[in-house]
Structure 1
């Protein structure tokens, strides 16, 4: 095997790896002979099929298999000899030129196999001690007073309503049918039945629902208005529309009380069971929020302390992944998923910074884990796998097959476990100071740090 360096600048590498024709031919002919000895082909006795005939039938597929095997074996060997770690899977080309002619000559053994490798390498960084890392750990006591407040908030958000015969007032819930028309043409796609909303809120048509005050069930009202130019429904933006409301039911809110009735409405058997559930939930959420803040501080520290060039391929991959996620959230239907026009330029810049932050932290965490022999055990992988399977009841076998046959899927299971173990290692060596906070302070910070996961490509 001959390794020829074609390009080396910064973190980018381009190589040609030449595998002698005799090495390829030896493996190729042996595979064909193995097939020839057992092949059952009409018109020939077993083991008596001419070699040329076997070659004409199986040659291309066997050559492809051998080249795949050589790539799997050769690429790690090349990187090891050069003491390099590829940031991502190298892009590989096989012998430039006409594909049919190249295949024929490789099978004949008249040319060497030339693999073109293009890749970015991971930078080598020196990891220092963490004795200068100071971490603030939030301590939040979840007492009965906090639980009572949380339960009151839940009651406020799940108010029951009682049907009334009187006119609607601000805060009442009304059920309506409505039609929307432009130039006296009813737009069926924008007309609805049995729609419920709170009078005085802006959840349906801003500045419109207030006009339905003092109406009773069975009454009607027509409203004219001009939708703003920036209205969310583009084909109605700037248009003068008519809204015809038919009031079907008016209900007034009942007092927000934490009791068995609320529990039953929310699917619990009793108030006590409901309280236990939400008490445990808020405690778990607070533990997650504390962890998020600790992790955020570690990643801030790593990004400030370790400054180095980042592989462009990793940065682009992470950035595109973020954009894909944002597009998916903006457009759940999946249409026009490649369009960036709806994303503000300043947001695109922020996502680029976020991608760089994630990749940089991932490289440093990966290096720390490797140098300190931090590993993810088979048991930890199995536990994560079972958690994933439990999310898809009835499809466990299909999901298990997916994970067993997809190395990337297993890598995705491993990455967050590895990351958390390295974070734990860093925290054990840091100076940690506890700080008492309210639950509101804790959760407000948790919202800010929700995007601080690390690039899975490295960790």
Structure 2
């Protein structure tokens, strides 16, 4: 095999590969000899078919297989040059049918070219000068007890009462939501229990039920929040025709072992332990993201090199497609977001370049450090992903990932990245800083050094993992119109 470089410009490469006809012939004869004892041809005993007859029958198809094997192994040709291709190389072959036929017949050298970009050499720098501050929030016992109380509320008993509903009472209602006089999907419910003051419904809904009595019918007017998750409802005024079917007063709330048992736990201490773990995990995730942002910002400042354009293009397309989906779903334009399409493209191109560059740096650091993702870790991630789908789709999703290496790699990549981050945090200087809850929850002006997406504030250029844990925990309470399992569930 002869390899000749025909282009070397920046990260772009093109090489011409020539496999002599004699080598192709040798590969073909080896394949024919291997098939001799396996094929069955009428008129010949097993293993006695002449090679030349086999060649006449299977020569072209076997030679096509040889060609495909060589092409499929093209990355090893690049590796043999001491290079790493950023993406699968583009294969350029003759389009002349006669030349192709001659190659398949074994009468000509097999020639093709590989067009690709290389991953630039990255020299890993010393991390001793890298310093990050880890914001730490010590969760007070009072916050644990408040959450225990909120959870225990689900076990509180209610007794029907006469008279007007007050804050803390439970009303049972039927409702139909309308916009411009027309009922909207997901905006209706029946026999729906609602504790007034629980803030389960959109702002303003519960307040208008204070003073209502069983048997009454009321029309409530509310306005959906501007950032409501169902874009077609966001910011719109809606009316709800509500029938109050029952008003019930709360019984005394008891928080003890029996309460915990009603929740399926052994004891009140166990409930407190679980609550503490959940809260500390939420704030711990927020702490990690802030530390990670600092770390990535410093890596971004330290490593400046040309990123492979095809990787950047692929990353940009992912971001840009999401941006446009979000805009379309929200019924908004770039002008509504105080930008232009051209400015947005420039911003997201910079974002794509940063992500690609940081991805290459983290990959190199991880490789040098021997970071790997164990099969068990990948398996757990796969199961977690599968469980997000309805039960009747889980097997299909599981098989899709198991049979699609590229899809499986989308699960492996974030696991690898987090392990590299763990490795780095063991190498750099980390200083703990006690902060308040408000300080920890305050969003940074930039996420991982990236400007927030103007036309896609929710998701496009901001990774899901960057969302504060408490915000994610509160989301289910904000998804309803009026309740968390009503309008938004169907609208989204």
TM-score between both structures, scaled by the size of structure 1: 0.74
Aligned to 2:428: 430
Flag the 1:414–1:220 CA change in 2: closer, same or farther, 3 A.
closer
Pairs within 5 Å for 1:1-400: 1-49=1-49, 54-55=54-55, 58-59=58-59, 61-81=61-81, 83-98=82-97, 101=98, 103-142=100-139, 144-152=141-149, 154=151, 162-169=159-166, 172-179=169-176, 191-197=188-194, 210-221=207-218, 234=232, 244-252=241-249, 258-260=255-257, 263-264=260-261, 266-322=263-319, 352-370=349-367, 373-376=368-371, 381-388=374-381, 391=384
2:378–2:412 Cα contact (<8 Å) kept: no
Alpha-carbon separation, structure 1, partners of 2:406 and 2:41 = 39
- What's the secondary structure of 2:83's corresponding residue? coil
Q: Could you list the runs of 5+ residues in structure 1 that have no partner in the other structure?
A: 455-459
Flag the 1:225–1:307 CA change in 2: closer, same or farther, 3 A.
closer
Q: CA deviation at 1:108?
A: 0.7
Flag the 1:234–1:424 CA change in 2: closer, same or farther, 3 A.
closer
Flag the 1:235–1:302 CA change in 2: closer, same or farther, 3 A.
closer
Alpha-carbon separation, structure 2, partners of 1:173 and 1:364 = 56
Q: CA deviation at 1:308?
A: 1.5
Alpha-carbon displacement from aligned partner over 1:242-287 (angstroms, at most 9, x marks no partner): 7543222334556776444653454433322110112233334444
2:167–2:210 Cα contact (<8 Å) kept: yes
- What's the secondary structure of 1:38's corresponding residue? coil
1:376–1:417 Cα contact (<8 Å) kept: no
Flag the 1:136–1:156 CA change in 2: closer, same or farther, 3 A.
farther
Alpha-carbon separation, structure 2, partners of 1:367 and 1:291 = 22
- What's the secondary structure of 2:162's corresponding residue? coil
Alpha-carbon separation, structure 1, partners of 2:321 and 2:231 = 23
Total equivalences in the alignment: 440
Q: CA deviation at 1:303?
A: 0.5
Flag the 1:194–1:401 CA change in 2: closer, same or farther, 3 A.
closer
Flag the 1:19–1:75 CA change in 2: closer, same or farther, 3 A.
farther
Alpha-carbon displacement from aligned partner over 1:1-50 (angstroms, at most 9, x marks no partner): 33344443332223332222332232123313432343113344334556
Alpha-carbon separation, structure 2, partners of 1:230 and 1:368 = 39
Q: CA deviation at 1:410?
A: 6.5
1:296–1:452 Cα contact (<8 Å) kept: no
Alpha-carbon separation, structure 2, partners of 1:368 and 1:229 = 43
Q: Provide the alpha-carbon RMSD of the alignment.
A: 4.9
Flag the 1:19–1:264 CA change in 2: closer, same or farther, 3 A.
same
2:92–2:114 Cα contact (<8 Å) kept: yes
Alpha-carbon separation, structure 1, partners of 2:58 and 2:355 = 47
Flag the 1:284–1:36 CA change in 2: closer, same or farther, 3 A.
same
2:131–2:430 Cα contact (<8 Å) kept: yes
Alpha-carbon displacement from aligned partner over 1:355-390 (angstroms, at most 9, x marks no partner): 3332222222233344xx31135xx51331343365
Q: Could you list the runs of 5+ residues in structure 2 that have no partner in the other structure?
A: 449-461, 467-492
Alpha-carbon separation, structure 2, partners of 1:307 and 1:65 = 43
Q: CA deviation at 1:412?
A: 5.1
- What's the secondary structure of 2:17's corresponding residue? strand
Pairs within 5 Å for 1:392-431: 407-408=405-406, 411=409, 415-416=413-414, 418-431=416-429
Alpha-carbon separation, structure 1, partners of 2:350 and 2:169 = 46
- What's the secondary structure of 2:242's corresponding residue? strand
Alpha-carbon separation, structure 2, partners of 1:396 and 1:184 = 40
Flag the 1:109–1:291 CA change in 2: closer, same or farther, 3 A.
same
Aligned to 1:457: none
- What's the secondary structure of 2:175's corresponding residue? strand
